[in-house]
């Protein structure tokens, strides 16, 4: 070997070693990212909190000038520093305090006309004072931010969250000041191929701080989370756990349900976790009697109160049993879209309007499409006695082979279950909507199912799947998606009579499945703007939509294993995929009710069907 060759060899070896070291250290990082603890605080409404809702100063930043320098490197002096000129010669090119405001909660698209189609970054700033007392901890809690939120307090980064429809919180105990705290959030709603959801959806990509923001105060060691529900298959045994967070974890925890005469104590392990279990004689929650109990979770250092219902939900063959009784889910799909004013729904009033319309339809069930809705929806459903299907935005064409996409979906699933696992109303966790068959997709969804079951064994798992014809005359529909094997309840979306033929095509249709499981027809629908009239074969008319529903209902009645229906959709909603002028104008008009609250003719067809179903199931 010449000297030149030798030094070349040494150089190559040292490159290899460097690469190996890098690779090994990357491997070391990956598990810790995967194992990221979900430390959401449960039931923040049951705690002392200070709302940060209202006007926030905002800077629209399409080129992310507040984040990257001109070499496209993250800047150490980004907008999160909230800098002010100290002398008259200082150069600072932004100023939150003289910038325009946006209201939180609320999407940005419907607050300023020029933001309707905006997709990118907006910086939000809120100033607040906060007098911290000794032995308390303080967290900033976000109901949701679509889609990525980078959060800074007093110039320091406190965390990042990805996923547009689930809550997150960061502790700020050490950073908070008595006066003039500057809380800055960079919210970015760029769509990405590898994100969840991915690039295309049939709903508006509303950006911003779309749900409430608040400060949550807790004692030094506090009840961070708990799961208090009936054990699967039981109607009188409560099973669950409580988790404490803080420095004094090994302490006594008592669960009390005063109206049922229950007070049971347990001792938390050194890690703050304790399993609980006891017998309870309870009035069970049901749509006819949505009984909620006051439940107190008391540690030595903290106490939280919640309202919890108890019910059992299971399947037997093709039946769905609520508290042991066969039921039919008379449902309807909902987007989280605000009635009357448009944009994202975020308030208790929005939830009540939508859920009361569902009740008027005769529904005992809602499918909250296509992502977890705000907490008011599930809380009010709990109170009104409406069963809920809740899902994550694993929609259409997710990148099935990408591990980071799976991690992201899994985190969103965890956050959905973490927030809503104590709501009796929630009976179904759904994994995905209309996803295309394939091995990578099946393995992705099986992992999500496994994960959901590992967090909550008490609910039914479903997914909205597709169907196909097994005959050339297109008379027989088959549901045999291999995913069905792993679900408790089959979900199926079909648009026979709208995307597939005319309404009368349903008249000859038979449905089959290879699974001995209940089916929820999770979508069917047709479009008509309210007030557009014509004959029953003229597209886009209320009469066509009505005719579509009449034929659908006749077909649905013939499906022996059908145990639920959720037509698409309760109310018209905005969608960038629906441009037809004068008809759609960027709204999906499949609502049974318009976005102005007007009921279309089809509403009454479903209402009549649900009335009949109610009579036959409750006689």
| Minimum distance from residue 533 beta carbon to ligand GCB (Å) | 21
Q: Which is nearer to ligand GCB, 229 or 545 (CB)?
A: 545
Among 390, 412, 506, 588, binds ligand GCB (CB under 6 A): 588
H-run or E-run covering 454: helix 439-455
- Of residues 5 through 44, those in contact with ligand GCB by CB under 6 A are none
Q: Which is nearer to ligand GCB, 223 or 605 (CB)?
A: 605
DSSP readout, 197-231? Answer: S-S--SS----B--S-EEEEEEESSEEEEEEEEEP
Considering the rule CB under 6 A, would residue 590 count as an interface residue with ligand GCB? yes
| Minimum distance from residue 483 beta carbon to ligand GCB (Å) | 15
Paired tokens of 283: 């009035």
Phi, psi of 429 (to 5 degrees): -100, 125
Paired tokens of 309: 């219902």
Q: Which is nearer to ligand GCB, 105 or 491 (CB)?
A: 491
Q: Which is nearer to ligand GCB, 212 or 433 (CB)?
A: 433
- Of residues 82 through 121, those in contact with ligand GCB by CB under 6 A are none
Considering the rule CB under 6 A, would residue 568 count as an interface residue with ligand GCB? yes
| Minimum distance from residue 604 beta carbon to ligand GCB (Å) | 21
Tell the residue number behind the tokens 């077909």, with chain if given. Answer: 555
Q: Which is nearer to ligand GCB, 433 or 458 (CB)?
A: 433
From the number of C-beta atoms within 10 Å of its C-beta (0-12, 13-18, 19+), residue 459 rates as buried
> What gap in Å lies between CA 164 and CA 160, rounded to an integer?
12
Question: How distant is the alpha carbon of residue 562 from its chain centre?
Answer: 26
Q: Which is nearer to ligand GCB, 202 or 546 (CB)?
A: 202
Considering the rule CB under 6 A, would residue 141 count as an interface residue with ligand GCB? no
Question: How distant is the alpha carbon of residue 146 from its chain centre?
Answer: 11
Q: Which is nearer to ligand GCB, 433 or 547 (CB)?
A: 433
Evaluate whether 310 touches 285 at the Cβ level (below 8 Å).
yes
Evaluate whether 170 touches 140 at the Cβ level (below 8 Å).
yes
How many other C-beta atoms can be found within 10 angstroms of the C-beta atom of residue 547? 23
Considering the rule CB under 6 A, would residue 430 count as an interface residue with ligand GCB? no
Residues 237-276: x/- map of binding to ligand GCB (CB under 6 A)? Answer: ----------------------------------------
Considering the rule CB under 6 A, would residue 434 count as an interface residue with ligand GCB? yes
Omega within 30 of 0 (cis) for the link into 495: no
Q: Which is nearer to ligand GCB, 426 or 465 (CB)?
A: 465
| Minimum distance from residue 578 beta carbon to ligand GCB (Å) | 8
Rounded to a whole number, what is the distance in angstroms from the first to the last CA of the chain?
94
| Minimum distance from residue 535 beta carbon to ligand GCB (Å) | 23
Q: Which is nearer to ligand GCB, 367 or 459 (CB)?
A: 367
User: Cα separations (Å) of 104 from 125, 142, 197, 455?
Assistant: 11, 11, 23, 32
| Minimum distance from residue 38 beta carbon to ligand GCB (Å) | 27
Comparing C-alpha atoms, which of 568, 579, 562 is closest to residue 602? 568
**What does DSSP assign to residue 259?**
G
Paired tokens of 576: 């960038």
| Minimum distance from residue 335 beta carbon to ligand GCB (Å) | 8
Q: Which is nearer to ligand GCB, 80 or 395 (CB)?
A: 395
The two beta strands, 313-316 and 303-308, are: unpaired
Considering the rule CB under 6 A, would residue 572 count as an interface residue with ligand GCB? no
| Minimum distance from residue 522 beta carbon to ligand GCB (Å) | 8
| Minimum distance from residue 502 beta carbon to ligand GCB (Å) | 17
Considering the rule CB under 6 A, would residue 433 count as an interface residue with ligand GCB? yes
Considering the rule CB under 6 A, would residue 545 count as an interface residue with ligand GCB? no
Q: Which is nearer to ligand GCB, 140 or 464 (CB)?
A: 464
Considering the rule CB under 6 A, would residue 494 count as an interface residue with ligand GCB? no
> What gap in Å lies between CA 400 and CA 50, rounded to an integer?
41
| Minimum distance from residue 135 beta carbon to ligand GCB (Å) | 49
Q: Which is nearer to ligand GCB, 311 or 370 (CB)?
A: 370
The two beta strands, 468-469 and 460-465, are: unpaired
CA angle 209, 213, 217 (to 5 degrees): 160
Paired tokens of 618: 């409750």
Query: Which residue has the closest beta carbon to ligand GCB?
Result: 202
From the number of C-beta atoms within 10 Å of its C-beta (0-12, 13-18, 19+), residue 420 rates as buried
> What gap in Å lies between CA 229 and CA 49, rounded to an integer?
26
Beta-strand runs (E) in 231-289: 237-245, 252-257, 262-267, 273-279
Residues 513-532: x/- map of binding to ligand GCB (CB under 6 A)? Answer: ----------x---------
> What gap in Å lies between CA 607 and CA 467, rounded to an integer?
26
Polymer length in residues for the chain = 619
Q: Which is nearer to ligand GCB, 330 or 467 (CB)?
A: 467
| Minimum distance from residue 556 beta carbon to ligand GCB (Å) | 17
| Minimum distance from residue 395 beta carbon to ligand GCB (Å) | 7
| Minimum distance from residue 110 beta carbon to ligand GCB (Å) | 19
> What gap in Å lies between CA 250 and CA 270, rounded to an integer?
5
| Minimum distance from residue 334 beta carbon to ligand GCB (Å) | 12
- Of residues 175 through 234, those in contact with ligand GCB by CB under 6 A are 202
Q: Which is nearer to ligand GCB, 204 or 511 (CB)?
A: 204
Considering the rule CB under 6 A, would residue 391 count as an interface residue with ligand GCB? no
Q: Which is nearer to ligand GCB, 314 or 466 (CB)?
A: 466
> What gap in Å lies between CA 473 and CA 467, rounded to an integer?
15
Q: Which is nearer to ligand GCB, 139 or 395 (CB)?
A: 395
Considering the rule CB under 6 A, would residue 493 count as an interface residue with ligand GCB? yes
> What gap in Å lies between CA 473 and CA 434, rounded to an integer?
24
> What gap in Å lies between CA 467 and CA 489, rounded to an integer?
15
Paired tokens of 464: 């909205």
| Minimum distance from residue 202 beta carbon to ligand GCB (Å) | 4
| Minimum distance from residue 435 beta carbon to ligand GCB (Å) | 10
How many residues make contact with ligand GCB (CB under 6 A)? 9
Biggest alpha carbon distance in the chain? Answer: 96
The residues binding ligand GCB (CB under 6 A) are 202, 370, 433-434, 493, 523, 568, 588, 590
């Amino acid at each position: 070997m010449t000297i030149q060759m030798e030094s070349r060899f040494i150089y190559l070896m040292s490159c290899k070693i460097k690469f190996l070291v890098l690779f090994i250290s990357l491997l070391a990082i990956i598990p810790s990212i995967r194992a990221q603890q979900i430390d959401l605080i449960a039931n923040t409404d049951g705690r002392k909190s200070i709302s940060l809702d209202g006007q926030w100063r905002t800077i629209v930043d399409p080129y992310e000038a507040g984040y990257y320098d001109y070499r496209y490197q993250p800047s150490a002096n980004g907008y999160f520093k909230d800098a002010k000129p100290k002398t008259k010669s200082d150069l600072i090119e932004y100023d939150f305090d003289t910038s325009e405001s946006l209201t939180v909660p609320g999407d940005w698209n419907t607050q300023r006309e020029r933001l309707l189609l905006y997709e990118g970054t907006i910086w939000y700033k809120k100033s607040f004072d906060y007098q911290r007392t000794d032995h308390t901890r303080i967290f900033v809690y976000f109901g949701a931010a679509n889609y990525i939120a980078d959060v800074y307090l007093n110039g320091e980064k406190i965390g990042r969250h990805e996923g547009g429809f689930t809550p997150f919180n960061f502790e700020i105990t050490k950073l908070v000041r008595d006066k003039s705290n500057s809380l800055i959030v960079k919210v970015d709603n760029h769509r990405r191929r590898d994100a969840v959801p991915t690039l295309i959806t049939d709903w508006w990509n509303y950006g911003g701080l779309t749900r409430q923001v608040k400060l949550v105060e807790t004692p030094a060691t506090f009840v961070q989370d708990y799961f208090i529900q009936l054990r699967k298959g039981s109607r009188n045994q409560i099973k669950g756990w409580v988790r404490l967070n803080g420095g004094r974890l090994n302490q006594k925890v008592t669960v009390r349900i005063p109206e049922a005469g229950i007070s049971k104590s347990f001792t938390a392990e050194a890690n703050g976790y304790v399993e609980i279990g006891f017998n309870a004689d309870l009035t069970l929650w049901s749509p006819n009697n949505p009984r909620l109990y006051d439940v107190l979770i008391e540690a030595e250092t903290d106490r939280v109160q919640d309202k919890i219902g108890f019910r059992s939900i299971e399947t037997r063959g093709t039946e769905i049993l609520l508290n042991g009784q066969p039921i039919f889910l008379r449902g309807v799909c909902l987007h989280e879209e605000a009635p009357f004013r448009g944009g994202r729904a975020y308030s208790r009033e929005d939830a009540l309007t939508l859920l009361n319309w569902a009740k008027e339809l005769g529904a005992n069930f809602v499918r909250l499409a296509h992502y977890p809705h705000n907490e008011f929806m599930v809380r009010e459903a709990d109170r009104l006695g409406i069963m809920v299907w809740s899902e994550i935005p694993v929609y259409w064409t997710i990148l099935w082979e990408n591990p980071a996409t799976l991690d992201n979906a899994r985190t969103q699933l965890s956050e959905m279950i973490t927030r809503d696992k104590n709501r009796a109303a929630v009976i179904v966790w759904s994994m995905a909507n209309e996803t295309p068959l394939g091995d990578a997709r099946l393995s992705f969804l099986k992992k999500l199912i496994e994960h959901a079951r590992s967090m909550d064994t008490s609910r039914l798992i479903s997914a909205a799947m597709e169907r196909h014809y097994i005959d050339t005359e297109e008379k027989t529909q088959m549901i045999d998606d291999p995913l069905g094997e792993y679900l408790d309840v089959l979900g199926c979306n079909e648009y026979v009579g709208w995307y597939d033929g005319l309404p009368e095509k349903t008249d000859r249709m038979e449905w089959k499945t290879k699974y001995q499981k209940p089916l929820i027809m999770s979508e069917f629908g047709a479009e008509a703007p309210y007030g557009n009239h014509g004959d029953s074969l003229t597209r886009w008319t209320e009469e066509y939509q009505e005719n579509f529903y009449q034929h659908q209902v006749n077909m649905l009645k013939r499906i022996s294993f059908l145990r639920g229906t959720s037509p698409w959709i309760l109310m018209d909603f905005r969608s960038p995929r629906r441009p037809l002028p004068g008809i759609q104008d960027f709204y999906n008009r499949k609502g049974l009710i318009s976005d102005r609250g007007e009921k279309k003719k089809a509403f009454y067809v479903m209402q009549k069907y649900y009335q009949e179903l109610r009579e036959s199931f409750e006689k």
